[in-house]
Every structure is written in structure tokens, then in C-alpha cells.
A and B are shown apart, each in its own frame.
Chain A
């Protein structure tokens, strides 16, 4: 594997990690707020906060990791995406800032404040929408390069069916991933009421997710035929994604093996996400920037890979410790440990 391929694989995996942990987090915020609004906070609130409290800070790191990594491995992306994404990027940052800090304010400071919870819950749906613009513009057609300037064509973006399909997919996926995870978590906590509520959210959430992903395919075909055809080359990945989805929904429907059901959801998104990623190559930004044109020099590439391996030798055991103490500790999940 060349440095370029290795680099993009690492980064893509981190983005996938963020997709999963971020979705759980964003969706949980939304459900926490929604639960309070429909008067069921006492049912789902504890389950959500017990999961989120120890991990909220870690979630954020996945995103930082991705954008620091991509500038390290592919400095040219900083130029194109950096210039063009000033406004959408800043909006996403502001939403992330509100969300992150208000989570801490609401949880460690003022517990009973609905406004803080609203700020936290509402941003949970807006952030995925704003972050997904990056995927949209990476397909080309939304940027104009005029001499030294890179301009984002806001109007084109706004009136594009493709961009709305992606936004829809992002938002519905967030709610779907989050509810399937919380179903699993509630089942582990042996919390029947929360389980039933989250289970219902999960089953309903599956429908818009699958419809919007079909939309994205159709819209992609109209928007970037070349990419669409490369996607057909790896059609089997999308097929496996669909199979995983069906199995997850079936398990949740039948009320059994929620853990396996969530693994299926992870596989569903893994197949789709990597399938999308593979078919996107070699372009990082169609048609201006390819994997090979934007890569850093080989010395830095090697150094990054070495640090990456060393870092992971440190992080993986720590993450396992975190998971064992909170996620897979039956007594903690049930709320028996303070």
C-alpha cells in the first residue's frame, strides 16, 4: 500500500469512527431533549446521561483527529476546502461549540435548565447537516476556481437535489444509529421502559434512513455520473450494507440480541461508507484534487504513519479500559455505581 492509500484509509476509518460515536452522541442529545418535551425524561434521561457522561469529550477528538490528519497527509486540501468552507465550516464550529460546552453546563452545572438542553438537543441535528456539506462539495460542481480564488457556489449548493439528499441521509442516519445503540444500552441496563421507547424510535428511524440513501444514489447519478459508475463497480458493498440493515431491523423487531443488532447497524454503515469512499477515489475534491496530487512529502508521510502506530498502541488499551469501566460494566450501566 502506498503512503497515500494508507493515509486516506486511516483518515477514512477515523471519519467512520466519528460517524458512529458522533451519531450516538448527536442523536442522544436530540432524544434527551425530545424525552423531556413529551414528558418521558425520567424514562430515557438516565440511560442517556449514564452513557454520555464519561465519553462526550472523546467523541470530539475523532473529528479533530480527522481534520488535523487530513491537513497533515494532504496539505493541499487545506487550500481548497479551507478557502471554500469558511462559512459552512464556521457555522459547524459554532454549533459544535454550543453543543460541547452546554453539555457540560447542563450536566455538571445547572441540571434542571431546559434551555441548555434545547441548545444541546437542537444542535444534534444541525451539526450532521452542516458537516455533510463537505461530502456534497467533494463531488464537484459547487466550487469555482478563479485564478487565486476558490469560491463556494452557495446558490448551486442550496438548489441542488444532491445536497439535500445528503443532508436528509445524515440526519436520519444520526437518529437511526443513536436509537439502535440506546436500545442496546437500555437492554443491558435491564430498563424495560426505556428499551421499549428506544426500540420504537429505532424501528421508525430505519425507514427514512433507507429511503434517503436511495435518494442519494439517484441524485449522485444526475450530479456526477463518473462517480456513480465507480460506485456500481463496488455494488456488492452496498448490497451487503442493505443485508446488514435488514438483519438489524429484523432482530430489533423480534426483540432479541440487541448487541448483534447494533453490530449489524455498524456493518451497514461501514459497508456503505467504505463503498462510497472507495468509489470516490482517486479524487479528494472532484475534479481539482486527487489523492496523488495533494499528498504530503514522503518523509512526513512516513513520520505520520509511525506516530499513528505508536499513538494507537497507547490509545487502544486506554479506550478498552474506558469501555470496560462504563459501557461493558453491567453494574455501572444499571446505575449501581455512582
Chain B
């Protein structure tokens, strides 16, 4: 493997590890805020305890998120110096703003965690969750605009290897930004809903019966339903955006070679790389045209319209299919749960539903990974689409392989220790025990 491959590998590894924690970092504060507010408004200790327990686990994941975020931030310059030299002129602004948002969040998270009993009016403490949400969501927004810029660059003039006539705002609000930001944010919130519901479902499956767990599941699944719908709408908008602005990515995901109307959606299957024939797939007629253009006879651009050395790898098809599949699963589970909750005769907290929620946790994280891999691999071979190829942007330093293994060990250690610490934190202290202690104090 050459330096470029090692650089790609290290960037992939860092990002794949970071987005797990970043997703938690963006989504969970929203739920902490909701739970704390419900606890105060309904005077329900269950929700107040929920907020505290979530916050306690959250801070550990934040620590790992912060350090891996620092890693990727610096690795951009260490591994892709040519890219930063060129793009730094244009994306310096959102990167800078992202740091500000992160700073804001860091300050208020510190305050939030150490002022639980400081204020006589509990709403004052709850108010502190708002700047945390603004900060975490803001940083996700700004960093996503940078990624969107790499997909649909604009806001500059390219003159003999240099970028001139810079318009930083045009670069930030490029065509990819709206759908990308919406999809990233909603999916992060949705994943956190499933993560938190998963923990409660796990406890109930192990035989815990306290109302605490039911309330947690009910809260997360109710909000989760709204979020699942929003995520799917955001994904649909992304597909329409791709069809218009970045057709080769959508075409690669759908193995759509010939430009034409009434294109069908290909699900699963196998591709013969020589002949381009697809076997064993489920083809849904017109569906791709509808997905891309809202019209059954809308024209969808095919891969053959692009030179072969600008094709993304065709395995992105599977990433796309799996992501979409999980997306619909995450919609089905809350629908089913809430339907059973409405029909009073049935027990909505039966083993099957709880098992479905439990599986939804890891699956939603998997979908985040798959979606990002699809988005990133799907714009190969470009690092800035149309302007700079990945192979021209990597460092010339020959030691990336050593660095790769150093970071691999680091992430393995961090991942394992983090899971271990989180498990220890809650295993010895189930919610029932804390509630009991709470009542004694009260």
C-alpha cells in the first residue's frame, strides 16, 4: 500500500471511530434536556433521575468525542497538507465557527455538570442545557458545511492551481449543505433516541420492572417516531439533491449505467464487473425516477455519462441499501410500539418489541457508519469534487503506515476502556437503587 492508501485508511478509521461519539454528543443533550424539563414540569423524579443518569454517561462519551475530534482536526493538516493549503482559503471560516460552537458547548457543559443543586429555581439549571444543545448542534452544522463543500465546491474561482475571488458564505451554503445538514442532524438525534431506549429495553429484558424504564422507552420512542420520519424525509431530499448536483454518486449507489427515464430502483443483487449485468436483485420499476425527480418518467443520469476514471467504487450500492433498510426498520419499531401502546389490551412492553428496540441501538449506529461511508466513498476519486483528486492531496511523508498502527491501538484501547467504564458505572447502580436513595433524601 502506498502513502495515499495509508492516509485514506487512517482518515477513515479516525472518522469511523469519531462519528460514533460525535453522534452521541449531538443527540443525547437534546434528550437530557427533554427529560430534565419533564421532571421539573411534571414533578416526576423518574425523569429527573433519567436526566442525571444520561448526563453521567454522556460526559464519558463526550471526553472520547472531544479527543478523537481533536485528532481528526489536526490529521486534516498532517495527512492532507495539499488539501488544507488549497481549501484552507475557503473553508477556514466554517472550521473556525465550529471551534467557537464547540467552545461554547464546553463551557456550559462544565457548568451544567457541577450546578445540579446550585439554583433554587430548577428551571435555571435546565436553561443551561440550551447552550449545550446550541453548541453541539452548531458544531455539527458547521463541520457538515465543510464536508458539503468538498462535494459541491463553489464560492471561488480556480486559476492555475490557486483559488481566488473567494466568497466564504457561498462556499458554506453550497447546494449540498441543506439536505446534508438536515440528514446528519436528524439521524444523530434518532440514533440517540434508540441508544437511550436500548438501555432501558435491556434492563427490562433482564427483568427490571420499575416504571422508570417504561417512561424512558415511551419518551424515546415517541420522539423517535418524529425523528425517524424527519430522517427519512432528509434522506429523500439528499437523493434528489444527488440526482441534480452529483449524479455519479447516486448512479453508483443504484448501479444505474444508462441515462434514461422510468429508471428502476435496484435492491441487493450482484454485479458482473465485466458486462455490467445485474443478477439476483429486486428491481422496483420507476422507483428511482420517482426518488430522484418525483416523476415516474423523470430522467436519471447514468454512470456511462462519466469517464471511467471518475467513477466511484460500485460497492457503495450495498452501503446505500443497508442504510436505507435500517432507516425503515427504525421507523417501523416506534410505529409498532406506539400502536400497541394505544391499543390498551396489548402489552406494548413485550419481549419482541423490547428485543426490536434493543437491536435498534446498534443498528442505528451501523446506519450512521454506512451512510457516511457511502457519502465519502461515493465521491471518490475526488477530495474536492472536480478540482483536487485524493491522490494529489495526500502527504508525501513516508511514515503514515506507522502512524496508522499507533492510532489503531489508541482507538482500540479507548473504545474498550470506554465501554468498560460505562458498564461499571451503571451496573453497580441500577435506577431502582438510586430512586430508593433519592426517596430517603426526600
Contacts and interface: CB of A to CB of B under 8 A. Distances in A.
A72 B73 CA distance: 12
A82 B84 contact: yes
A46 interface: no
A230 to B, nearest CB: 27
Given A85-B78, A307-B93, A97 B396 contact: no
Contact of A101 (B63, B90, B166): B63
Interface residues of A, number: 70
B78 A297 contact: no
A63 B103 CA distance: 11
A71 B88 contact: yes
Residue of B92, B410, B422 ringed by the most chain A CB atoms within 10 A:
B92
A150 B397 CA distance: 8
A93 B73 CA distance: 10
Interface string B120-138: 0000000000010000000
Interface stretch (A35-43, A175-183, A218-226, A320-328): A320-328
Contact of B99 (A65, A89, A97, A110): A65
A101 B414 contact: yes
A97 B103 contact: no
B56 A67 contact: no
B380 interface: no
Contact of B62 (A57, A82, A109, A297): A57
A63 B77 CA distance: 14
B118 A337 contact: yes
Contacts of B59: 104, 108
A204 interface: no
B104 A318 contact: yes
A102 B117 CA distance: 26
Nearest to B71: A93
Contact of A57 (B66, B74, B90, B168): B66
Interface stretch (A160-168, A206-214, A246-254, A298-306): A298-306
Contacts of B397: 83-84, 86-87, 150-151
Interface string B413-434: 0100110011011000000000
A311 B97 CA distance: 8
Nearest to B59: A108
Given A57-B106, A94-B407, A79 B84 contact: yes
A153 interface: no
> Chain A interface mostly helix, strand, loop or mixed?
helix
A8 to B, nearest CB: 14
A104 B73 contact: no
Given A93-B74, A308-B96, A319 B407 contact: no
Contacts of B113: 53-54
B410 A94 contact: yes
Given A54-B114, A75-B89, A315-B104, A96 B67 contact: yes
B28 interface: no
Contacts of A279: none
Contacts of A148: 396
A300 B92 contact: yes
A158 B422 CA distance: 41
B264 to A, nearest CB: 45
A315 B56 contact: no
A315 B73 CA distance: 21
A300 B89 contact: yes
A236 to B, nearest CB: 34
A297 B89 contact: yes
Contact of A338 (B80, B82, B102, B117): B117
Contacts of B87: 75
B93 A64 contact: no
B338 interface: no
Interface string A106-118: 0011100000000
A104 B63 CA distance: 6
B386 interface: no
Contacts of A64: 69-70, 73, 99, 102
Contacts of B66: 57, 60, 100
Nearest to B396: A149
B135 to A, nearest CB: 10
9 contacts: A63-B70, A72-B88, A83-B397, A97-B70, A100-B66, A100-B70, A296-B88, A296-B89, A315-B104
Interface of B: 56, 59-60, 62-64, 66-71, 73-82, 84-90, 92-93, 95-100, 102-104, 106-111, 113-118, 131, 163-164, 166-169, 395-397, 399-400, 402-403, 406-407, 410, 414, 417-418, 421-422, 424-425
User: Which 7 interchain pairs have the tightest Cβ spacing?
Assistant: A72-B92, A75-B88, A104-B63, A109-B421, A78-B84, A82-B81, A82-B77
Interface of A: 53-58, 60-61, 63-65, 67-69, 71-73, 75-76, 78-87, 89-91, 93-94, 96-98, 100-105, 108-110, 148-151, 296-297, 299-300, 303-304, 307-308, 311, 314-315, 318-319, 321-322, 325-326, 332, 337-338
Given A64-B69, A78-B77, 20 more contacts: A57-B109, A58-B107, A61-B102, A67-B77, A68-B98, A75-B86, A82-B78, A82-B81, A97-B68, A100-B63, A100-B66, A104-B62, A104-B63, A109-B421, A150-B397, A297-B163, A299-B168, A315-B100, A337-B117, A338-B116
